[in-house]
Structures are given as C-alpha cells and as structure tokens.
Structure 1
Amino acid sequence: MNKRQLQALETKKRILNVALELFQEKSFSNVTVDEIIEKSQTSKGAFYNHFKSKHDIFFEKFQEVDHYYVQELEPQFHLFNSAEEKLRWFFFKQMEYIEANLGWDVIRTIYEHELNVEADSFFLIPDRPLYQILGKLCDEGKRDGELRRNLSTPEMVNIFARSIRGILYDWGINKGAFSLQNEQRFLFDAVIKGLKK
C-alpha cells in the first residue's frame, strides 16, 4: 500500500470507531453524520467516500466480526478434541466479542435496519465466513458420529444461525439486561443437544 492508501484506510478506521462509540454513547438514531464527521475530524467527502450512510458502518463492522472468526477463532480449533467442543467454544467467544465490541444498542439498531424490506440483509448472505465455519463444524460432527445425519449441513447451519439471531434480538430488546456470555450457554447447550446423534 502506498502512503495515500494507508491514509485513506486510517481515515476509514477513525470514522468507523468514532461512529460506533457515538452509537453506543447516544444510540444510533441520535447520532448524525455531521456529528461523526466533526468528532472524527474528517470531512463529508471523506465520510461518503467510505460509507453510503450510517447504516453502512454496521456492514463494515460485521465484516470485521467475520474477520475475527476467521483470523482469531478458527485457527484455534485444533486445541479441541471434538466438533461439539469447538461449537461450544465458538459460540462463547462469539458472544463475548459481540458484547464487548458492539453492545446491545448497536445490535438493536442493526436489527432495525435488517428488518427494512428495501435493504439487502447482511444476515442472509449465504457465503459469510460465519456460515462457512459452522458448516465445516457440522460436517466434522456428522463425519465423526457426534451429530445427527438425518439433517443436512445447511439445515443445521440454519438452526444455529436462527439461534444466534434469536439471542441477539432478545438481548437488544431487553436493553442488554443479561450477559450474552452467560445466557448463550443455556441456549446453545439445548441446541447442540438437540442436534446430537
């Protein structure tokens, strides 16, 4: 990367981080693009060069979350002996990351945006790294006789994806009243047990 490209990347990161801080502090609907620009010490041109709208910031953040799954979590799967252990650890780390790095209000706002019928849903992109990782773990669990074989891998991934969306939605509408890290244990324990052979 040349100097100009590095500067553009730094500007984009600064806008993203400032916007997410403001969303957590004041809620998404109470933050304007002008406020993000002012606090990030950038320009309107710089903002719109990187993001079409405030909502695009969430898309960028989701890509970062998926990057975390691929770069940080997947390489550690070798530390576990079974697909079940990997799944349980993955869900714990996922919820830990979301709770620490996004917060309930950002999650609530993401769901508001995702329910907009005129917008494309990031949740439904079939080749997201999240779904690829879950698919590999389901395949492994079925191959090793841990998980049921009367459901296809896409069906299992869909069950996990709906469970993830369910707990996050519930956390958002409850204004973060419970710990995702603690609550996910009960939910995914039940889901995994239901998918076991």
Structure 2
Amino acid sequence: MKNLTERQKQAIATKLRITQISTDLFKRKGFENVKIQEICDAAKISTGAFYHHFKSKNEIINTGYEQIDLLLRERFESKTFNSNIDKIIYLVSEGSVLLQDLGWIFVGDVYKNLLSTDGKYTFKSDRFVTLEIKSAIELAIENDELQSSISSNTLTETILRISRGFIFDWCLHQGNYDLKTDILSDLNLILANYKK
C-alpha cells in the first residue's frame, strides 16, 4: 500500500472532522433539525468543501455508522478472550455500548436513514461485526463450544437480526432502558440453546 500524500491526509482529516461535528449536532438536535450550513459553520468550512466530501447529510450518517465499526474493531483487536462465545458476547455488548453513547436520537436517525437508502451498510456481508461474529461461531462449533445443529450463517443472521430489533425497540422507548443489559439477556438465551 502506498503512502498517503499530505493532501490526501488533510482530506481524510477534514472528512473525519465534518463527520464528528455533524454527529455531535445530530445527537444534540436530531438529524432533521440540522442544516448543512450549520455543519459548515461549526466545521469552519465552505458549503463547497462540504459537498466535496459528502453528497448529502445522509451520507454523513452512513460514514458515522462505519466509524462505530472502526471503534468496535479497535477495541476488539486489543482484547483477548477465553472462548469464542466470549468474542460473540463482547462484539454485541460493546457495540450496544457505543450505540447507547451516541444516544437514541442519533441512532433513530440512522435507522430512519437505513429505511430510505440503497446499499444499507448494516446488511453488508463484509462488515467487520458480521465477519467476526460468523468467524467466532464457526470456531465455537469447531471447538465444541456450540452444537453443529445450526449453520454459522443462520446463527450469525439471527444474532444480528435480534440486535437490530433491540436497537430499534430502544429507540422507540427513547433510550429509557439499558440497551446492553437487554441485548445480552436475549443473546445469552439464544447461545444457551446451542451450547454443548
């Protein structure tokens, strides 16, 4: 991989800064209430610079969602685990902590955006969370931590679908319960059915 030029590094830094400032505004005010000019003013950039990096506000939400995965990956790769099941539990629980930190308003806006966007990031089969959960399930089956009566694809999709459902429910309840606790309760019920 070739080294980035200073101009490329500056462009990446600017895009990240716009994403972070926008995410903060969305968390505080809600996606619909934030205007592009407000983002530009807060980021100290022109609207032309904004549109150089993003086609729309919706694209910022997608970028923000990808940033969640990057943070999760960084935390995941710095840990060691006693079992593959512990990896699965960590990925789901730490992901829910990151979402809870963003707040139900912002996460709700992400979900609204997903309903109206083609190429939904959350369903990407090469997404870090999806790949790691599937890998951990495959290893858990190989190492006799989980039964082989269910395929790794089916169990991965079940875990992701239940997680998305919990996140949606948490947004509907305006974040008034602990997302991590409730997701983990159901995740442990699912995994208990397939433990050896």
Q: Same fold (TM over 0.5)?
A: yes
Q: TM-score, length-normalised on structure 1?
A: 0.90
Superposition pairs of residues 170-181 of structure 1, within 5 angstroms: 170-181=169-180
- Poorly superposed stretches of 4+, deviation over 3 Å: none
Q: How far did residue 62 of structure 1 move?
A: 2.0
Matched residue, 1:51:
54
The structure-2 alpha-carbon separation of the partners of 1:3 and 1:74, relative to structure 1 and needing over 3 Å to count, comes to closer
Between the two proteins, what is the percent identity of the paired residues?
Answer: 27
Structure 1 residue 139 corresponds to structure 2 residue 142: no
Q: How far did residue 2 of structure 1 move?
A: 2.8
Aligned residues: 193
* 1-structure distance, mates of 2:11, 2:82: 43
* 1-structure distance, mates of 2:138, 2:78: 17
Q: Kindly indicate whether the alpha-carbon contact (under 8 Å) linking 1:19 and 1:36 is maintained by their aligned counterparts in 2.
A: yes
Matched residue, 2:75:
72
- Which amino acid is 2:135 matched to? K
Q: Kindly indicate whether the alpha-carbon contact (under 8 Å) linking 1:23 and 1:31 is maintained by their aligned counterparts in 2.
A: yes
Matched residue, 2:35:
32
Q: How far did residue 120 of structure 1 move?
A: 2.3
Alpha-carbon RMSD: 1.6
1:10 counterpart (13, 19, 26) = 13
- Which amino acid is 2:34 matched to? V
Matched residue, 1:152:
151
Q: How far did residue 194 of structure 1 move?
A: 2.6
* 1-structure distance, mates of 2:77, 2:134: 12
Matched residue, 1:91:
92
Q: TM-score, length-normalised on structure 2?
A: 0.91
Structure 1 residue 63 corresponds to structure 2 residue 66: yes
Q: Which moved more, 1:21-30 or 1:175-184?
A: 175-184
Matched residue, 1:108:
108
* 2-structure distance, mates of 1:88, 1:2: 40
Q: How far did residue 160 of structure 1 move?
A: 0.9
Matched residue, 1:185:
184
Runs of at least 5 residues in structure 2 that lack an aligned partner in the other structure:
none
